[in-house]
Amino acid sequence: MVEYRDNVIKMLGSKRAEEIYAAVKDLPIIDYHCHLSPKEIYEDKPFSDIGEIWLAGDHYKWRLMRGYDVDEKYITGNASWAEKFDKFAEAVGYALGNPVKDWVAAELMFFFGITTPLNKDTAEEVRKKANAVIKEKGISPRKLIESANVEYIATTDDPCDSLEWHDRIAKEGALKAKVAPTFRVDNLVSVEKADYNQYINKLEKASAIKIACLGDFEKAVENRLDFFVSRGCRFSDIGVAGFPKSVAEKKDAEDIFGRIVAGKEAAADEISALKGYLYVFLAAQYKKRGITMQMHLAVTRNSNSAMFAECGADSGFDCVGDAIDTVTLTRVIDTMNKNGGLPETIIYTLNPSMYYTLITMIGAFRGVHLGVSWWFCDHKRGMRETFDRLSELGHICSLIGMLTDSRSFLSYTRHDYYRQCLCDFLADNSSERDGDAPVEVAKKLCYYNAKKLLEG
């Protein structure tokens, strides 16, 4: 499959950009945030159809199809892969200006050697060609990972997860890329949910610690975090809607938590304060263990309640949330820092209106980084906006680099998309007087900054 690696879409706007890109295009990929399944990586089952690879769980593509008014039967319904592929091909053929159109073209070229533009007229031809490659080469998750030159994969895992599949991958030792878990704490901090005590029961079983008070809860969390670290965990993450407006004192946090686990009610401001306490507690634990803390902000989850009930989470019904008040965010970060518990931190925003205040806040704390253009912002203009704002208000070299944030094993072409956008930006913002600086910056932002986080 590597014979297709040079067939990439060229978005470079100048000879200088091409020269910078030549220095980074073949660097390994460190995918420090994604949603790939470790079970699928371990089992390494060959795919049956290009429709399966593309449409089994990629909500970017599902949203595009819904935007083109494709019936849900062909998105998450029981239509065949061929039928779903045909509908997707028609939708993407008309999706002028959407990054999915560029990603599709890159994936077809990179992994299948197909240069035919995908649309309703070429759907059958493209599907036959792609499926022939899938059958001939036995394309599977591991083959896609290896062909993309991936060095490290951080999956997204609940603290109660057994990490069985990570253990199996490590024990087998056949995959060149390192696959490690990420400590994703959404369920830990969602104390307002009606089923929170059910989650506490899961945490009790996973940690073998009976949880009757906040101190027990903290011991259970530390137990699970140590378990994750023993399996190579280097990153944590949180991606819940909203953000704590205050940080409770420990005594108050103990009282609020005790009432919640006893099935009693807590006021909204108490819940927010308890969450703030938990954020600070978790940050201190990450700092102690050398874990990088990631926060994904300004997202609204499961906006369409009827479709959420039908399809479940992560099905394409999340959207951009309101900007988080930076004064509130600063208060929590500062509390972490005062307590000696501010780890290396990456803060992403789905709402780009936060850039000015967020970047200037980040600049007040050592080791806090702006996250790369996230989700609805990871198109060419969105990436350029991130580069522009960060370079104007902070330092471009503080950006850690690209990640896929994806459930698709074909999404590694997004790293090339990012690298080309970055090299164009660096070419436009440098001159011959800067010497090798643009190349060195590109190397940092494409590989070495992420590598440094891994090495601690």
Average pLDDT over residues 309-319: 86
Q: Look at 9-23, 40-54, 138-152, 214-228 and tell me which has the smallest mean pLDDT.
A: 9-23
**pLDDT (0 to 100) of residue 425:** 97
The whole-angstrom separation of Cα 324 and Cα 240 is: 12
For the stretch 62-108, pLDDT in tens is: 999 999 999 999 999 999 999 999 999 999 999 999 999 999 999 99
Average pLDDT over residues 217-224: 98
**pLDDT (0 to 100) of residue 53:** 93
For the stretch 412-435, pLDDT in tens is: 999 999 999 999 999 999 999 999
Q: How many CA atoms lie within 13 A of 255 on its CB side?
A: 9
- Read off the tokens for 210: 């009976």
Average pLDDT over residues 278-296: 97
Other residues' Cβ atoms within 10 Å of the Cβ of residue 82: 15
Whether 383 and 402 have beta carbons less than 8 Å apart is answered as no
The whole-angstrom separation of Cα 227 and Cα 208 is: 12
For the stretch 24-74, pLDDT in tens is: 999 999 999 999 999 999 999 999 999 999 999 888 999 999 999 999 999
The whole-angstrom separation of Cα 368 and Cα 293 is: 9
Instruction: For residue 216, report the phi and psi dihedrals to the nearest 5 degrees.
Output: -65, -40
The whole-angstrom separation of Cα 82 and Cα 308 is: 25
Residue 8, pLDDT above cutoff 60: no
The C-alpha angle with vertex 434 and arms to 430 and 437, in degrees rounded to 5, equals: 90
Domains of the chain: 2-47+139-455 (3.20.20.140), 48-138 (1.10.2020.10)
